[in-house]
Structure 1
Amino acid sequence: MTSTTRTLYLFGSAAPPIFDVAKVIETAQADGWDVCLGLSPTAARWIDENLDGLAALTGHPVRSEYKLPGEPDVWPKADVILFAPATFNSINSWALGITSSFIVGVAAEGIGKGIPTVTMPCVNAAYAQHRQFGRSVTELREQGVTVLYGERGFVPNPPGSGKPKAYPWDAALASVKQVSTKA
């Protein structure tokens, strides 16, 4: 990789679109990104049999836990963070500053570091009706996070009728490109 390669932290929660993460990584790499993959612990369990292959694909260890004190950081610094799919729990935890999850903690810290950040929720319509979800989306937007939710991003489906193959990954990657040119 050349010194002009930019680093994308791709974070994902346990929602069905996470099963397409290898294709997303390949698309981002084709656009010139050095991709580091971080997963919620549950997402890591869901795709456990693919973790070694994903590490080989990215050239970096896949992370789902905080490193121990004194351990070196194994990833280069992020130029942009994409948190997708982001579940109800991840969005609310992030907005409230509850950083018990590695990916939520890094995303929360990224706000303070001024790292351009994009997120796209993946929640069903019942979760989307919970008042805290709307408050959390507003809070993240007010802190400068690009939240792709609504007509130009993710639109919730009724519970049990998800369409993981229709998850708008292209919109997420296009937004990453857009925020990276502003940085």
Structure 2
Amino acid sequence: MTSVLYLFCSAAPPVHDVADVIRDAQERGFDVCLGLTPTAALWLGDQLPVLAELTGHPVRSEYKLPGEPDVWPKADVVAFAPATFNSVNSWSLGLTHDFVIGVVAEGIGKGIPIVAMPCVNAAYVQHRQFERSVSELRAMGVEVLYGEGGFVPNQPGQGRPKEYPWPLVLDAAERLALA
């Protein structure tokens, strides 16, 4: 049976590899629905039709209007990567101004398994709220791949987006979908 994966992405450089990640997820047996923060949607603007064709579902970055039908099947698991400093903190604090943040915030309450992997630089993680946010999400049952065995921040301006450990996110999503 195919599991439905909601793949959510913030605007961080690894988002540009999302088509390859979708293909990898599909090879693992996932039916992928792609959700983007508004800035990530802007970054990928000209690719959105191709990504929708690749997934077979509309790419979403905005809330639907009241009364509109859901255009995606129900999620079996959510993977949120890359998750930026802003997205991690907004989610942890329950600030659901963006569609993807609203879905993952509500997903915790619905008991949907969620894995997240930040993509932040070492300067951002010096802000005390970031560690509190990661701890809070973990306490709510979110698997956060950060630190040893997950994403390790680079110094500002020294990011290596091609080295972002996407397979870790999909491995965790597979495990969570089977649990």
TM-score, normalised to structure 1, is: 0.97
Letter in 2 for 1:144: G
Question: 3-state SS of the aligned residue for 2:58?
Answer: coil
Q: Which position in structure 2 is the counterpart of 1:28?
A: 25
Letter in 2 for 1:98: L
Post-superposition CA distance 1:111-146 (Å, at most 9, x none):
000000000000000001110000000000000000
Identity of aligned residues (%): 69
Letter in 1 for 2:105: A
Q: Which position in structure 1 is the counterpart of 2:8?
A: 11
Matched ranges for 1:81-160 at <5 A: 81-160=78-157
State how far apart, in whole Å, the 1-side matches of 2:66 and 2:175 are: 35
How far is 1:87 from its partner? 0.2
How far is 1:25 from its partner? 0.2
State how far apart, in whole Å, the 2-side matches of 1:61 and 1:109 are: 21
Length, aligned pairs only: 179
How far is 1:108 from its partner? 0.4
Matched, 1:161 2:158: yes
Matched, 1:48 2:41: no
Letter in 1 for 2:51: L
Q: Which position in structure 1 is the counterpart of 2:178?
A: 181
State how far apart, in whole Å, the 2-side matches of 1:180 and 1:71 are: 28
State how far apart, in whole Å, the 2-side matches of 1:91 and 1:44 are: 18
Q: Which position in structure 2 is the counterpart of 1:72?
A: 69
How far is 1:179 from its partner? 1.3
Q: Which position in structure 2 is the counterpart of 1:57?
A: 54
How far is 1:151 from its partner? 1.4
Question: 3-state SS of the aligned residue for 1:156?
Answer: coil
Unaligned runs of 5+ in 1: none
How far is 1:18 from its partner? 0.1
Letter in 2 for 1:71: E
State how far apart, in whole Å, the 1-side matches of 2:24 and 2:64 are: 28
Letter in 1 for 2:121: N
**What is the aligned-residue RMSD (CA, Å)?**
0.5
Unaligned runs of 5+ in 2: none
TM-score, normalised to structure 2, is: 0.99
Question: 3-state SS of the aligned residue for 2:123?
Answer: helix
Question: 3-state SS of the aligned residue for 2:74?
Answer: coil
State how far apart, in whole Å, the 1-side matches of 2:69 and 2:173 are: 27
State how far apart, in whole Å, the 1-side matches of 2:130 and 2:175 are: 25
